[in-house]
Amino acid sequence: MKFCPCCALPLEPVLYDQVELDICRSCGGVWLDGGEGAIVIGPAGDPRLWERHGVILREEPSEHLCPVDGAVLAEVILRHGRDEVTIEVCPECRGIRLDAGEGARVQSIVTAAIQESPQLQEPGFWSFMLQAVSGIPIEVWNPVRRRPWLTIGLVVTLTVVFLVEFALHLSFGDAITERILHQFGYTPGRVWEQPWTLVTYGMLHGGWLHLVGNIYFLYVFGDNIEDRLGRKSFLTIYFMAVIAGALAQHLVDKDTPVVGASGAIAGLMGAYLVLFPRVKVYVVLLMARLKMRVLWYMGIWVGMQFLIAAQADGEVAWMVHLGGFFAGVMCALFLGRRGLDFFIDKQVRTKA
Ligand SMILES: [Zn+2]
Ligand SMILES: [Zn+2]
């Protein structure tokens, strides 16, 4: 049995995210065995990264002993700018002791600090050229813990649907494309006759570029959301954004059918902003690469939607984007509260 380094009371094992955590019901602290931090907090909870990227401000012996091997725990201050958090780490087994609420602080401080790390390798020349031509962003640092199978599945699904659409078009010409658009595209004025189109429009794409662009953004932002919130919440956000995007279109145009996963992707962007506000992306502007906080990036993106709206040629369903984005933000605000700290807090309170 392990004992809390602070209270000397027995730690209670509880299962979280397939990991057995040791919780102290008296102080609300948690003990993470070596390696568990990187699973329950995410990659930012890996002590090896703190050293490599210079996140550690100070490290000195604490008054407590490791509950696993009895070594003197080190008091470690992690810092980014004025933001600091003090935790305890075992120099022997790399176990971590966190006080109540510190999981999210570690995550946010380490993530923010690594964005600035000189140890990071910038994407190479060809990515630069690709970014210059296409305007796509590249995440500076936001790895995932597991392969994002659901995101990959969605990428495959959207591609297959497009290929089928394309094959039908090749065989039967414009008539079939028109029919697909009529049957499965979303026309606000016909929602009562065709309620399924609220979802199906999000599976169709009008062309290769539309599809490839959406898939790229889906993968870049989707993998982290799936990793952080799990598949159920990811799907909730995805489909809420699809539907919200469709409904938002009622405000501007009731007669033209829309297609594309852009509403869903915009929802993922909104959710990403809420969940990872301190991540930065590389963007290429006027042939210069710069790092931009995701907050700015998304802000500019939202502004662009209004610019597109002002041009009003009807090519881009900007209102679908805004509706999806807003839904993503709201869903993530609601779903994103659940995390390590929320879980421990609940555990400690239920039995107290
Ligand atoms: Zn305790
Ligand atoms: Zn230890």
Report the CATH number at residue 176: 1.20.1540.10
pTM of the predicted protein model: 0.92
Flag whether 158 is in a domain.
Answer: yes
Q: How many domains does the chain have?
A: 2
Residue 334 Cα to ligand 1 middle (Å): 30
Rounded distance between C-alpha atoms, residue 219 and residue 284, angstroms: 19
Average pLDDT, the chain: 92
Residues 208 and 295 grouped into a single domain: yes
pLDDT at 312: 65
Residue 262 near residue 203 (C-beta atoms within 8 A): no
If asked whether residues 98 and 136 sit together in one domain, one would say no
- 69 alpha carbon – ligand 2 mean position (Å): 5
107, 200, 241 from 234: Cα distances, Å: 20, 18, 11
Intra-chain end-to-end CA distance of the chain, in Å: 20
Question: Whole-angstrom Cα distance, residue 279 to residue 139?
Answer: 8
Domain boundary among 98, 119, 140: 119
150 in the same domain as 98: no
pLDDT greater than 60 at residue 30: yes
Local confidence band at 351 (pLDDT 50, 70, 90 cut-offs):
low
> What does the chain come to in residues?
352
Same domain, yes or no, for 331 and 196?
yes
* 169 and 48 share one domain: no
Mean pLDDT, residues 258-266: 94
Q: Are residues 146 and 179 in the same domain?
A: yes
Given this model, what pLDDT does residue 243 score?
A: 97
**What is the predicted pLDDT for the residue at 305?**
86
Task: Write out the two tokens for 126.
Answer: 């060809």
Calculate mean pLDDT across residues 254-263.
90
Q: How far is the CA of 179 from the centre of ligand 1 (A)?
A: 65
Q: Taking residues 224-248, report their average pLDDT.
A: 95
Q: Which of 49-53, 140-144, 229-233, 343-347 has the lowest mean pLDDT?
A: 343-347
Q: How far is the CA of 99 from the centre of ligand 1 (A)?
A: 9
Mean pLDDT of 127-141: 92
Section 81-101 average pLDDT: 93
Do 75 and 174 fall within a single domain? Answer: no
* Over residues 245-259, mean pLDDT: 90
How large is the average pLDDT for residues 102-131?
Answer: 92
Closest Cα to residue 69, out of 52, 45, 94? 94
Looking at the fold, whether 79 and 134 belong to one and the same domain comes out as no
**Residues of the domain holding 63:** 12-119
Least-confidence region, from 219-228, 266-275, 333-342? 333-342
Last residue of a domain, one of 77, 103, 119: 119
Residue ranges with CB less than 5 Å from ion ligand 1: 4, 6-7, 24, 26-27, 29
Q: What is the pLDDT of residues 174-208, one digit of tens each?
A: 999 999 999 999 999 998 999 999 999 999 998 89
Whether residues 53 and 174 fall in one domain: no
pLDDT score for 306: 85
The answer to whether residue 350 is domain-embedded is no
Judgement on whether residues 168 and 312 belong to the same structural domain of the protein: yes
Buried-state track 205-226, b at ≥16 Cβ within 10 A, e below 16: bbeeebbebbbebbbbbbbbbb
Residue 226 shares a structural domain with residue 292 = yes
d(CA 89, ligand 2 centre) in Å: 8
